[in-house]
């Protein structure tokens, strides 16, 4: 099988799933931006749902990049920390393919056929021609409407707003979350001690380990909405807490309820 659980805004269309399909391999990929244009869920493989942090919570990252504090690699690294791929669904997909050779063969052959029929150069060139015609028509309609639009700074958009449609869903104030009882405080300590998180340990970027403990403890009794979880923190910390809830979802401490 082939797998690619992309969670970064640098990934757009993605050639590797197409190469895997052409090779007759079933795939387990994230439901992320252009990936959803390639592998058909439960036909050529499995697309695992993703969740991105709320719009408005990422302006600090683009400001740091725009002002030269962080280079581009660190900018996209920061953003990826707050994109969650659904871990239980990924496990189910791997188990299904590992335990069922017939399913692997069926999905692999469907993928090979899909690669030939949808992504051969003859099809790609035709789609480019259709796109050019559609864009020309849109330009004409826009010129006729002549409606003014508000434009933000081209290099200063919040990535969680700019790339919201890459993910399956976006975390919202009304999103209901539950605690994953399989995780422990030792797991949380291990995450915070990991070099993977080293460059994120700044109070303006992410919640502290004690703040994360407060979030987790709040969910021990019942599922809660994001707005309810953040309301118990001081106003000047609520944006960071809201963003960090997405990180806790990413690393498996929380689950959508």
> Residue 200: what pLDDT?
85
What residues does 52 pair with on adjacent strands?
Answer: 83, 170
Check whether 156 has a pLDDT greater than 90: no
Q: What does the alpha-carbon distance between residue 152 and residue 29 come to, in Å, rounded to a whole number?
A: 33
In a domain, 230, yes or no: yes
Structurally, the chain folds into a number of domains equal to 1
Q: At a CB cut-off of 8 Å and minimum separation 6, what does 122 contact? A: none
In a domain, 195, yes or no: yes
Per-residue pLDDT tens digits for 47-70: 999 999 999 889 999 999 999 999
Write down the pTM of the prediction. Answer: 0.80
Among 81-85, 126-130, 150-154, 203-207, the least confident range = 150-154
Q: What does the alpha-carbon distance between residue 225 and residue 80 come to, in Å, rounded to a whole number?
A: 23
Q: Report CA Rg, the chain.
A: 21
In a domain, 181, yes or no: yes
> Residue 166: what pLDDT?
93
Check whether 154 has a pLDDT greater than 70: no
In a domain, 109, yes or no: no
> Residue 201: what pLDDT?
82
In a domain, 20, yes or no: no
Per-residue pLDDT tens digits for 101-114: 999 999 999 999 99
Per-residue pLDDT tens digits for 182-205: 999 999 999 999 998 888 888 999
> Residue 145: what pLDDT?
61
Maximum Cα–Cα distance across the chain: 62
Check whether 148 has a pLDDT greater than 80: no
In a domain, 219, yes or no: yes
Q: Where in the sequence is the domain holding 75, given as residue range(s)?
A: 54-83+172-257
Q: What does the alpha-carbon distance between residue 94 and residue 76 come to, in Å, rounded to a whole number?
A: 27
Per-residue pLDDT tens digits for 14-39: 899 999 999 999 999 999 999 999 99
């Amino acid at each position: 099988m082939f797998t690619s659980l992309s969670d970064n805004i640098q990934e757009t269309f993605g050639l590797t799933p197409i190469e895997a399909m052409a090779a007759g391999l079933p795939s387990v990929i994230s439901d992320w931006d252009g990936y959803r244009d390639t592998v058909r869920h439960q036909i050529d493989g499995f697309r695992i749902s993703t969740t991105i942090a709320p719009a408005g919570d990422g302006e600090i990252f683009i400001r740091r990049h725009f002002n030269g504090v962080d280079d581009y690699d660190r900018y996209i690294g920061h953003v990826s920390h707050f994109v969650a791929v659904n871990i239980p669904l990924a496990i189910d997909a791997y188990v299904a393919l590992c335990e069922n050779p017939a399913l692997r063969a069926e999905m692999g052959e469907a993928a090979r056929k899909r690669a030939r029929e949808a992504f051969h150069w003859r099809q790609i060139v035709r789609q480019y021609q259709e796109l050019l015609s559609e864009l020309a028509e849109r330009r004409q309609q826009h010129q006729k409407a002549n409606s003014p639009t508000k434009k933000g700074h081209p290099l200063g958009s919040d990535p969680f707003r700019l790339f919201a449609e890459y993910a399956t869903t976006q975390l919202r104030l009304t999103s209901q979350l539950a605690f994953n009882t399989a995780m422990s405080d030792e797991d949380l300590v291990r995450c915070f001690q990991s070099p993977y998180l080293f460059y994120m340990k700044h109070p303006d970027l992410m919640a502290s380990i004690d703040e994360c403990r407060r979030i987790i403890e709040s969910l021990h009794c019942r599922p809660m909405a994001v707005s309810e979880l953040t309301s118990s923190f001081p106003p000047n910390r609520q944006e960071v807490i809201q963003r960090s809830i997405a990180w806790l979802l990413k690393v498996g401490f929380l689950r959508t309820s």
